Structure 1
Amino acid sequence: MNTRILYAPNRLKYTNLVIATLLTLCCLSISFSSLGQEGGFTISGTVTSAETGETLPGVSIVYKGSPEGAGTDVNGRYSLKVPSGEGVLVFSYVGFQTAEVAIGKRSEINVSLEASVTALDEIVVVGYGTQQREDLTGAISSVSAEDLQNQPLVSADQLLQGKAAGVQISNSSGAPGGRVNIRIRGASSINAGNEPLFVIDGIPVYNSSKDPGGTSYGTFTPTNALASINPNDIASVEILKDASATAIYGSRGSNGVVIITTKRGKGDKVKVNYSGYYGTQKLVRKLDLMNGSEHAGFLNDWAAANELTQPFADPAAIGEGTDWQEEIFNSAPIQNHQVSISSGRGNTNYYISGNYFNQQGIALNSGLERYAIRVNVDNKINDKLTFSQSLTYNRTINRSVPVNSAGSDNIRSVADKVYATSPTIAVYDENGEYIEDWYGATKAENPVASLLTIRNKVNGDNLLGNLSLDYEIAEGLSFKTLLGVNLLNRSNEEYYPRETTYIGGLLGGLGMVSDRRITNILNENILRYSKTINNVHDLEVMGGFTWQTEKTTGASTQPSGFPDDRLGVNSIGSSTGVPEIASSVNEWALASWLGRVNYQYNRKFLLTATFRADGSSKFGSGNKWGYFPSVALGYRLSEENFMKSLEMVDDLKIRASYGLTGNQEIGSYQSLARLVTSNIYIIDNQLVSGASQVGLANRELKWEKAMQWDVGLDLSLFKNRLRMVVDYYEKNTEDLLFTINLPAYSGFSSALYNTGELENKGIEINLEADIFTREFGWNVSANYARNRTEVTSLGKSASTSLFIGYPPGVIRGYLYDGVFNDQSEIDAQTAQEGIAPGDAKYRDVNGDGELDADDRVILGNPLPDYIFGFRNNFSYKGLTLSVFIQGEIGMDSFNGISSFDPSTGSSNKSRTLLNRWTPDNSGSDIPRAGVSNWLSNSSYMLEDRSYIKIRNIQLGYDIPANIVPWAGSANIYLSGQNLVTFTDFPGYDPDGGRHYPTARTIILGVNLGF
C-alpha cells in the first residue's frame, strides 16, 4: 500500500522567508559577538565538586551573552578568552547546579559546583499534595512547562498530545477553540463520560462543552472548556493514571486525572517577561476531487443510469470549473502576546500575567479571540499562617461555523459544503450575484455565500480561582482550608439568512439567542501530619472533607420569519414565525470524605493507602454514597547493599497497586421520573399546556466501578542520564452506566441502568536519555503505549452494536468483492437480485445463497493498536533545535464522505471514481455511476486512520547580551506545527474532525526577560 505525504507546496515560501530572517539574525549576532572580543582578556581556573572536592572534567564555561566558551580538561582546568575583565561566566555540568560568577577583572577564578536536584528529587503534584518522584508508588506522568511553551495551540489539552504514555488525544475538530477527545488508558464507559477529570490549581473541572445549545436544525462547534485557560501560565502538568494515584478523586477518577499547576512567583528579584509570536496557518492538504469537466462526465453517467436526461452536452467544455476548497479555505493569521511580572522576594511572592490570543480560522468567517488575566499570590503572614490566591479571568469570543452536519443536512458542515457542491458551478453569475442552484443538488446553497453571511458568535466569560489558608498547628501538623469558584457565562447568537442558506430560505430566516450561566463552588478542608522516626520511618497522614456544588441555568429563543436579514437576531421583535422558547435549571452536589497514608521504611519499602467516600446527588436514594479504596507498594532495590556496588544504577524501584475508582458523569436527575412541560393539548377548543413523563425512575442507579491493578518499574542509570518507566495494567469496569432499550409496553423507549462490563489492559513505556550534556547537548524522550479494550458482558442490554470480546464502536459490515463485470457473473450467483453489470459485488459469507444481515462481519477497530511520541532536543551554545514526532497505528473507520459514494449524483466525487466501471472499462473494481445496490457499510468504505506526524519542529537562538543589552535574556524562535503527515487516510487529516480540517502553522516568536 502506497503511503502519501500530506503536503502543501505554498508552505515553502513562508518557511524559507522566516528561516532566512532567523539565520540572518543569528549570523549578525555571532559576528557582533566576535567583533566585541578583539583584544580579549584571558581567565583560567579549576572547577571542583562542592560535595567531594574532586575536580570535574568536561564542565562547560560560557561568557554570558556570547557564543564563545570552553570546557575543563581531565584535571578540571580551563582557560577562556573573554572581551574584557567585566561580565559573568556561566559554569554548567550535568548533575550539578549551574553557577554564574562575576569576573571582576580577575584572571583566575576557581569554582565549586553544588550537586543539583535530580529527576528523582523532582517534586510531583499528586492529589491534595506533593511527593518526590523517587517516593511515588503510583503511575504518574509529568509534562513540564518547557515541553508546552512556544506552540501555537489554544488549550492545554492539545499541548499534551504524544507527550505521555497511555494518553490518547484526538481532535474532534480543527476549528479554532474546537474540542479534543482525551482517553487515558482507554475508554472506561459506554454511555457515561470518558474524559479525564482536570484539576486546575486544586479545582476539579470536567471538560465538557459549557456553551449553550444551537438551533434545533444544526449545531456549531462546541467551544473547548479548557480554551479559557492560558497555556502560557502553566508550570507543570501531572497525569494520574492508575488507581493508586486516582482513587483519591473517588467517583471521578476512573478515566484518569490531569492536574494542572500554574506558575507562581519565585526568586529574589522582580522579573518581567514578554513572550509573543505571529504566524500563518494553511490547509494541510486538499482532497483529490473531480474538476468541473470530470464531474460533468460523472453526472452524465449517473443520469443515464437513472434513465434521466444527461445535463451536460459537452463536459470537456466546462474545463477546471470551481475549486471550492480554494474558495472556502484560506491562509489565516495567528498571534499570541503575553506579559508577566513575578517575584519571590520577602514574605510575599506573586505571579501576574496578561495575555491576548487571536486565531483566525482557515475556513471563511471563523476565528477565536481570548483575553486573559492571572494573579497568583502567596503571602506568609507569620511563621505559622500562609495565605494563597490563584485567580484567572478569561474572555473568549468564538466566531464559529458549522462543524457537524445536522437536521437531516438542513445545515451542512464546512467540509460537507465542499463535498456537496459541484465544481461545474461558479461562485457568481454574470451579474455578480451568488449562484444558488444547480443540477442534482438537494438543499443547495452557495458555500461561499452561506459561510460569509451566517452569523454565529459565542461569547464566554470565565472566572476560575481559589483562596486558601494554611496553618501550622504544631511541628509536622498543619491544616488547610480552600474556597474555590468556577463561574462561567456563555451567550450564543446565530442567524441563517433567507437569501443565502437553505434553512434560512425554508423558514424565512432562522435565528437563535441563548445564554448559559454556571456557578461551581468548592470547599476543601485538609488536615496533614508528617513525622520521621529514628531516621528510619517516614510517615505522612492526610485526611479531609470536601464539598462541591454546581448550578446551571439557561434560556433560549429560536425565532424565524424575519422581514430583513440585515439586523438578524437584533430584531427578534419583527419575526413572524412562532418562536421556540426554552429555559432550564440543573443542579448537582458532591460531598466527600478522603484520606491517605504514605509510609516509608528505611527509604527502601514504600506504602501508599487511600480511601475516599463520595456522596452524589446524581444517583438513587439508596446508592448516593460510593466508597473508593486503593493500596500501593514500592520496593527500592537500589537501596539494597548488593545493588549499591553497581555504580551505573542510580535508582531501581518496583511497584504494584490496586484500587477502585468510579464514574458519575451522567446528567442530573437520571434516577428520577422526569417530566416535560412542552406538550400542548386542546381542551374545550382552548390550547392548554400540559406535562408528560419522559424518563423511567430508577432508584437503584449507582456508580460505575472501575477496578484496576498496575505493576511498574522505575529505573535510572549512569548518574540519571538514562531513565525508564514501564507499567502493565488491567482495568475492569463493572455496573456500567448503560442506556438499554425497553419493551414498548413500558411506555418508554430506553432507560439508564447499571449493567455490563468493560475491560482495558495494556503496557506503557517511557524512556528519556541525556546523550550529550556538554557544549553540544542532545536529549531524547520517547513513549509507547498499547491498550486493548473489550466488552466482557452486556448484562441486561440487547445491544446490536456492541459485541462481547470486541471494543465498543467496532466496525461491522459487508465484505466488498468488487464489481459484476458482465451478465454472466450476475447469472452465476443467487445472493443478489435486480442488479446490472457495474454494480457492487458483496460476499455471501454464510453461503446460504442470500445476502442479508447474517453476512455482516467485523471489519475494523476504531481504536489504535498502539500510540507513541518521540522527541529530540539539541543544543549548541545559543542554538536549540527540537523535533517532535507522534503517531497512532492500527485504527479504522468508515468513510462517511459522500465523495466516495458512486451511487449518488448530489455531490462532487473523489478522482478515484474516474476509474469507475463503464462498458469500456469493465475490468474496474469500482462500481458504476448510479450503482443500484450500494451499501455504505461495506469494506469498500473502510479506511485506515493510522498516521505518523512530524508534529512540531522548533529552532531557537539565545541572542547575546551585547546585542540586546537592555534585556536580561532574549530568545527568538521559529516553530512549525502539524508539518508533515504520513498516512493512507483519504480525508483531510486522520487526527482531525472530518467536518473542519486541521491546519499547518508556521510561527516566528520571541521571549524577552528583564
Structure 2
Amino acid sequence: MKKLITTLCMLCGLLFTAGAQVITGTVNLPGANILEKGKTNATKSDAVGNYKIRVSDPNATLIFSYVGYKTKEVKISGQSTIHVELELSASSVQEVVVVGYGTQQRKDITGSISTISASKIKNQPAVSVDQLLQGRAAGVDVSQASGAPGGRLNIRIRGASSLNAGNEPLFVIDDVPVYNSSKDPSGTSYGTFTATNALASLNPNDIESIQVLKDASATAIYGSRGSNGVIIITTKRGSGNGIAVDYNGYYGVQTVANKLKLMNGAQHAAFLNDWAQTRNLPIPFARPDSIGKGTDWQDELFRPAMIQNHQVSLSSGKGNLKYFVSGNYYNQDGIVINSNMKRYSFRVNADAKINEKVKVSQSLSYSRTINRSVPTTGAGSGNVRSVGEKIYDTSPTIPVFDENGDYVDYWYNAGKAESPVASLLSVKNKLEGDNFLGNVALEYKPIENLTFRSLLGINLTNRSNQEYYPRATTYIGGLLGGLGMIGERKITNILNENTVRYTKIFKQKHNLELLGGFTWQKEQDFSATTEPSGFADDRLGLNSIGSATGATIIGSSLTEWSMASFIGRVNYQYDNKYLLTASFRADGSSKFGADNKWGYFPSVALGYRLSEEPFMKGLKFISDLKLRGSYGLTGNQEIGSYQSLATLTTSNAYIFDNKLVPAARHTRLENGELKWEKTGQWDVGLDAAFFNNRLRLTADYYKKDTRNLLFTIDLQAYSGYSSALYNTGGLQNKGFEISLGGDIFTGNFTWTADMNLGHNKSKITSLGRATSTTLFVGYPPGNFLGYVYEGVFHTQAEIDAQTVQTNVKPGDARYKDVTGDGFLNADDRIVMGNSLPEFTYGISNVFGYRNFSLTVFLQGSAKADRTEGTGLNDPSGTGNKSLNLLNRWTPSNPDSNIPRAGYSNVLTSTYQLMDASYLKIRNVQLSYTFRSGSSVYLSGQNLLTKTDYIGYDPDGGGGYPTATTLMFGVNLKL
C-alpha cells in the first residue's frame, strides 16, 4: 500500500511538471521584468541582472521589459539559459524623477536635479543619509563636522547662501519638510555638548531614492526654504507580484583612519628643553633620550570598534494593498573609548486602492537612538577639551599611571591638566531620543485627469541629555566641585497639504499639467535644563542633584512658529520638444516683521529637446539632447523665532532699598521690517545621451545672488541694546557642474563609470550697514585677516639688515611688509584663507563579471584651506607637535624656515594656513549574487586619503577623527 501511494505521488508530480522548464540567465538591468507570454508567471532580475523563471512550455516566449527601454520577446526553443540586453528607447529617457509635490519623467525636467538611487548607496555603513551624499552629486559639498557615531555633517549645495541664517538644505522625507538643525537639548553653560545629527534617526536602509534639487526652477516651489537647495528622500514601498521577505545585515570593525605623526617622548622632551631655554627657564629633562618612545596617547584613546546592522523587511505589491514593513537594529561603537550609538527603528509604508477613484497611502516610522558621547569640540577657554585636543595637548613624556597605579594628570607647563584616559572614561554624556515621522494622504479622482490630494504629516521629537563631569578626573569638574546637567526637549511639528492636479494631452502634441494648493505647518519647541554643581561625591552624581551645593542654573523655553503657503505650478510641453515649467509660491511666516509676513517666490524654466528635431534624426549616435535654462527666486527663513520682536530677559536683578529685586530688561530692539533673505538664481544646462544612452552627460552653469541678508548688527551702547537683526548686504555664488556617465562594457563583463565635478566661487558683494572684522567685500565668507609669513630670521645679520621688525631673535618668524612703508603693522595684513572648496568631485566605477560585482568609489575636494588651530605646526606652545618640527630652527639647524621652539612673535599669518585638498577612496565593495537573488559582500569604507594636510582628516572631524571600516555583509531573499 505504501509503495502504491508513493508511485501515485510520483505520477502526479510528473503530470504536474509535464512541459514545465526552469529558465535562467541575465539581463543587463537590475529589476527588469520577465514574463511568460500569455501567462501570469513572472519575475524580476536581481541586483546584478540574474533571473530564474519556471515556464509551462519549452516552446514558450519570454517578454523582457523595463521602464524606458525597448521591450524584447525571446522564444525559448528548448534553451535553458537565455541572456538578454535591453536597449533604451531611442525617443526618450523615461526615468521617473521625484520633484516638489509630484513626479516627472527625466526627459521632461527643465531644472537642475541630481538623482541618487538606492543601488548606488546600498550596503554602505552610514548612520545617516547625509553621509551617503558625499561625492555622489555635482555641486554638493559634504564635510564631516565630527567623526563620532551620529556626528553632524555640513552640507552646502552650490555654496553658502547666508551669513547669519541657516545654510543647510531643506530635507523632504516622504513629503514632510524637515530642516536639519539640532534637535538636541543644550549642554552645560560651559559649552560641553556637541549636537548630534538629527538625520541619524532616519534608517538609510529604508531609502529608495534621493533627489537633490539645486536650481531655482526646482526649488522655488518650496519658496522661503529653497535658497540652500532641497533634498527629497523617498523611502521604499511595496513592489513585486508576491510577498518578499529580505534580510540585510553586516558586521565590521572600525579603526582610526589616520594617526597623527607626532613626536615621541624623547623628541618632545628635547623640544621642551629648547622651549624652556628660550623662556630663560631651567630645562625640565636632563636626559631626554632616556624617556624613549614614551606614551602614545593615540593608542590609549583610540580602539578597534565594532559596527553592526541588521534589518528585516517584508513587502508586497500585489493587489489593491501594497506595503513595505521593516525593522532595523544599528549598533556602532566609537573608535574613541567610551563612545557608542545604538538605533532601533521600525517603518510601515502602505498604499491602499479603495476603488478607481480613491487611494489612501501612509508612511510611518519610529526610531529610538541612544548616544554615549565624548566632547568633540573644545570650549570654555580650554576648560573642556575635545578628544583631538586631549591627544595633541598632552605630552608623551608622562605615563598613563604613576608608581601607585593612579592616573597621572599633570605634565610640564600644563595649566589645565587632566588625564586624557581618566577624563574620557569617567565623563557621563548620554543622549537618548525618540522620533516619530509620518504622514497619511488621501487621493481622490472625481473625473479623469483631475486629482485631489490631502496630506497630514507629523514629526515628533523627544530627546533627553544627561552629562556629569567628575571633580576627581576632569578639569571643569574639579574647578566646580563636579558639574552636571539634565536637559529635556520636545518638538512637535504638524503639516497639512492640500493640492489639486490636472493633466491633459491635447491633440497628441500638447501636454499640460496644472498644480495648485495650500499648505500649513506649525512647530512647537519646549526645552528645560537643570545645571547643578558642587557635588559631595562623584559616585552619586546626577542621581543626587538635590545634594549639590553650588549655584544651580535652571532654564526653560517655549518657542513656536507657523507658516501658511499657496503654491502653483504649470508644466507644459509641445510635441515632446518644447518644455515650459513655471511655479509660484507665497509664504507667510510668523518669524518675520509685521510688515513683511509674506514673501513671494516665482520661477520659470524653458527646455528645448533638439534630439526631437527632424534634422537630428539622422544622427544615430545621439540618443537625447536637451538645452534648458531657468531663473527664479527662493528664500531663507532659518532664524530663531521672535527675532523681529522686542524681547525681555529676567536673568538680571537690581537693588532697591538695599534689597535684591528680580527685574526684566530689554535685550533686542524690535524690527517690524524684518523680512526674508531672497536668492535670485539663473541656470543654463545641457542634458545629453549618446550611443543608445550608453554615454550620458549633464552640464550646468549657474549664478545666484542673495540679497537682504539676515545680519546681526552691533548697536551703540547708549541705545540700551547690544544688537539687532536687520536685512542688509549681499552674497554671490557662481560656478559650473559636470556629470558624466557611461556603460563602457556590456555583456558578461560589464563596466559602468560615473563621475561628477562641481566648481563654486563665493564672494560677499555688500555688507550694507553692517561692519565686520571677519567679513570682506569681494571675498568669500570664512576668510580672515593675517600677515604674510616669509620664513624665519636665520641669523643676527639678517635681523640687523632690516628695520621692519624689532625685538626679534634668530629663529623668530619673519612677516612681509606688504605696504612697503618700512614698518610691520595692521595695515600689512591681507585677506587670506578659503574655508569652502572651489572644486568637489566623485568618481564611481562598477565592474561586473557573471555573478561578481566590484565597486570602487573615489571622492575629493580641492582648493580649500584649514587653519591649524591644533598647534601641531606651531612651536610656540608646549603641547605635542608634528614631526615636521624636528626640523625647526636651532643654532645647529639655522637654515630651517620653521620657527624656533618657544618663539614669541606669534601673529595670525599664512603660516597657519594648510591646504585641505584631498582624494579619498571612499568605498570598495566586492559582492557575489546567487541565483536566488541573495548576495554576500566585503566592503571597505574610507580606506585611503591622499592629502598634504597634517591633521586627522582634511574633510573635518578633528575633534573626533573619522574611521576606516572593513565589514562583511549578506542580503538574503527569504
Q: TM-score, normalised by structure 2?
A: 0.92
Match in the other structure for 1:11: none
> Is the counterpart of residue 947 in structure 1 residue 947 in structure 2?
no
Change (3 A) 1:951 1:86: farther
Aligned-partner Cα distance in 2 for 1:351–1:592: 32
Give deviations 1:725-782, integer Å, cap 9, x for gaps: 1111110111111122222322333221111111111111111111112111111111
Match of 2:971 in 1: 1007
Query: In structure 2, what residue type is equivalent to 1:979?
Result: L
The alpha carbon displacement at 1:88 in A equals: 13
Give the Cα separation in 2 of the matches to 1:729 and 1:65.
39
Instruction: Trace 1:756-771 onto structure 2 (pairs within 5 A).
Output: 756-771=729-744
1:878/1:957 contact within 8 Å kept: yes
CA shift, 1:815, in A, is 1.1
Task: Report the counterpart of residue 103 of structure 2 in structure 1.
Answer: 130
The answer for the alignment partner of 1:809 in structure 2 is 782
Q: 2:312 aligns with which of 339, 344, 348?
A: 339
Residue 933 of structure 1: aligned partner: 905
Q: Which residue is 2:379 aligned to?
A: 406
Q: Which residue number in structure 1 is paired with residue 34 of structure 2?
A: none
Distance (whole Å) between structure 2 residues aligned to residue 582 and residue 67 of structure 1: 56
Match of 2:158 in 1: 185
Task: Give 1:531's aligned residue.
Answer: 504
Moved more, 871-880 or 839-848: 839-848
**Gapped runs of 5+ residues in structure 2?**
1-20, 28-42
* Segment drifting more, 918-927 vs 353-362: 918-927
Matched with 1:357 is: 330
**Alpha-carbon RMSD:** 2.7
Please report how far the alpha carbon of residue 290 of structure 1 lies from its aligned counterpart in structure 2 after TM superposition.
1.0
Per-residue CA deviation, residues 213-264 of structure 1 (Å, 9 max, x unaligned), is 0011123331101100000000011010111110000000011000000000
What SS does structure 1 have at the residue aligned with 2:572? strand
Judge conservation of contact 1:674–1:695 (CA < 8 Å) in 2: yes
- The answer as to whether partners of 2:23 and 2:82 remain within 8 angstroms in 1 is no
Aligned to 1:6: none
Confirm or deny that 1:996 pairs with 2:969.
Answer: no
User: Which residue number corresponds to residue 513 of structure 2?
Assistant: 540
Picking from 807, 810, 824, the partner of 1:834 is: 807
Deviation of the 1:564 alpha carbon: 1.2
Q: Percent identity?
A: 63
Alignment match, 1:625 = 598
Amino acid at match of 1:909: K
In structure 2, relative to structure 1, the CA distance for the partners of 1:547 and 1:298 (3 Å cut) is same
- Quick one: distance in 2 between partners of 1:896 and 1:822? 28
In structure 2, the CA distance between the partners of 1:601 and 1:570, relative to structure 1 (3 Å rule), is same
1:318 paired to 2:291: yes
Matched, 1:775 2:739: no
CA 1:110/1:413 → structure 2, altered by over 3 Å: closer, same or farther? closer
- Find out whether 1:987 has 2:960 as its counterpart: no
Distance 1:679 1:695 in 2: 15
Amino acid at match of 1:933: N
Aligned to 1:970: 934
Hey, what does 1:551 align to over in structure 2? Answer: 524
Deviation for aligned residue 1:646 = 1.4
The answer on whether the counterparts of 1:734 and 1:758 sit within 8 Å (CA) in structure 2 is yes
- The one-letter code sitting in structure 2 at the alignment partner of 1:219 is T
Aligned counterparts of 2:109 and 2:485: Cα–Cα separation in 1: 51
- Matches of 1:169 and 1:388, distance apart in 2: 33
> Does 2:554 match 1:581?
yes
Residue type of the alignment partner of 1:824? A
**How far has the Cα of 1:841 moved from its partner?**
1.1
Structure 1 partner of 2:113: 140
**Secondary structure in 2 matching 1:219:** coil
Matched, 1:236 2:209: yes
After superposing the two structures, state which structure 1 stretch, 153-162 or 675-684, moved more: 675-684
Higher mean alpha-carbon deviation, 432-441 vs 406-415, is at: 432-441
Shift of 1:568: 1.6
Is the Cα contact below 8 Å between 2:775 and 2:784 reproduced in 1? no
Residue type at the aligned position of 1:994: G
Q: How does 1:75-114 map to 2 (within 5 A)?
A: 106=78
Q: Who is 1:287 aligned against? A: 260
Give the aligned partner of residue 73 of structure 1.
none
Show the counterpart of 1:654: 627
Query: Retained in 2: the 8 A contact 1:94–1:773?
Result: no
For 1:518 and 1:66, how far apart are their aligned partners in 2?
Answer: 40
SS at match of 1:571: helix
Q: Which amino acid aligns with 2:118?
A: A
Q: Deviations over 1:768-817 (max 9, x none)?
A: 11111211111111111111111111111122222221111124311111
Aligned to 2:566: 593
C-alpha distance after superposition, 1:343-396 (max 9, x if no partner): 011100000000001111001111110000000010011111111110000000
Give 2:688's aligned residue.
Answer: 715
Distance 1:374 1:87, change over 3 A: farther
Question: Which stretch of structure 1 is more off in the superposition, 187-196 or 815-824?
Answer: 815-824
State the match for 1:964 in structure 2.
Answer: none
Residues 296 and 252 of structure 1, relative CA distance in 2, 3 Å threshold? same
Q: Which residue is equivalent to 1:910?
A: 882
Instruction: Report the Cα offset of residue 64 of structure 1.
Output: 9.8
Give runs of aligned pairs for residues 440-459 of structure 1, distance below 5 A: 440-459=413-432
**CA distance in structure 1 between the aligned counterparts of 2:372 and 2:875, rounded to whole angstroms:** 35
User: How far off its partner does 1:644 sit?
Assistant: 1.2
- Is 1:204 the counterpart of 2:177? The answer is yes
The Cα shift of 1:427 comes to: 0.6
The farther-off stretch of 947-956 and 291-300 is 291-300
2:371 maps to 1:387: no
Aligned residues: 934
Match of 1:866 among 831, 839, 856: 839
Shift, 1:685, TM fit: 3.8
Asked whether the 8 Å contact 1:43–1:106 carries over to 2, the reply is no
- In 2, Cα distance between equivalents of 1:776 and 1:709: 42
Whole-Å separation in 2 of the counterparts to 1:729 and 1:69: 42
Distance 1:100 1:579, change over 3 A: farther
* Structure 2: distance between partners of 1:284 and 1:587: 42
SS of structure 2 residue aligned to 1:838: coil
Correspondence for 1:462: 435
Preserved contact between residue 667 and residue 722 of structure 2 (Cα < 8 Å): no
1:831 shift after superposition: 2.1
Distance apart, 1:860 and its partner CA: 2.9
- For residues 756 and 215 of structure 2, the distance between their equivalents in structure 1, rounded to whole angstroms, comes to 17
Asked if 1:374 corresponds to 2:338, the answer is: no
In 2, are the aligned partners of 1:63 and 1:88 still within 8 Å (CA)?
no
- Distance in 1 between residues matched to 2:363 and 2:704, nearest whole Å: 35
2:715 paired with 1:751: no
Do 2:88 and 2:693's aligned partners in 1 also have CA atoms closer than 8 Å? no
Structure 1 equivalent of residue 472 of structure 2: 499
CA drift at 1:436 = 1.4
SS at match of 1:854: helix
Partner secondary structure for residue 985 of structure 1: coil
Residues 136-193 of structure 1, C-alpha deviation per residue, up to 9 Å, x if partnerless?
1111110000011100110001101111111111111111101111111111111111
Letter of the 1:324 counterpart: W
Q: Where does 1:501-516 land on structure 2 (aligned, <5 Å)? A: 501-516=474-489
The correspondence for 1:664, drawn from 629, 637, 650, is: 637
Of 640-649 and 510-519, more deviation after overlay is shown by: 640-649
- Cα-to-partner distance string for 1:515-537 (whole Å, 9 max, x where unaligned): 00000000000011111111111
Query: Which amino acid letter does the alignment assign opposite residue 170 of structure 1?
Result: S
Contact 1:511/1:568 (8 A) holds in 2: yes
Q: Residues 338 and 355 of structure 1 are in contact (CA less than 8 Å); yes or no, is this contact kept in structure 2?
A: yes
Q: TM-score, normalised by structure 1?
A: 0.89
Match of 1:18 in 2: none
Q: For residue 959 of structure 1, what is the aligned residue in structure 2?
A: 930
**Residue in 1 aligned with 2:15?**
none
Classify 1:110/1:836 alpha carbon distance in 2 versus 1 (closer, same or farther; 3 Å). Answer: closer
Question: For residues 87 and 317 of structure 1, what CA distance do their matches in structure 2 show?
Answer: 85
Structure 1 residues 573, 506: closer, same or farther in 2, change over 3 A? Answer: same
Equivalents in 1 of 2:81, 2:370: separation in Å? Answer: 56
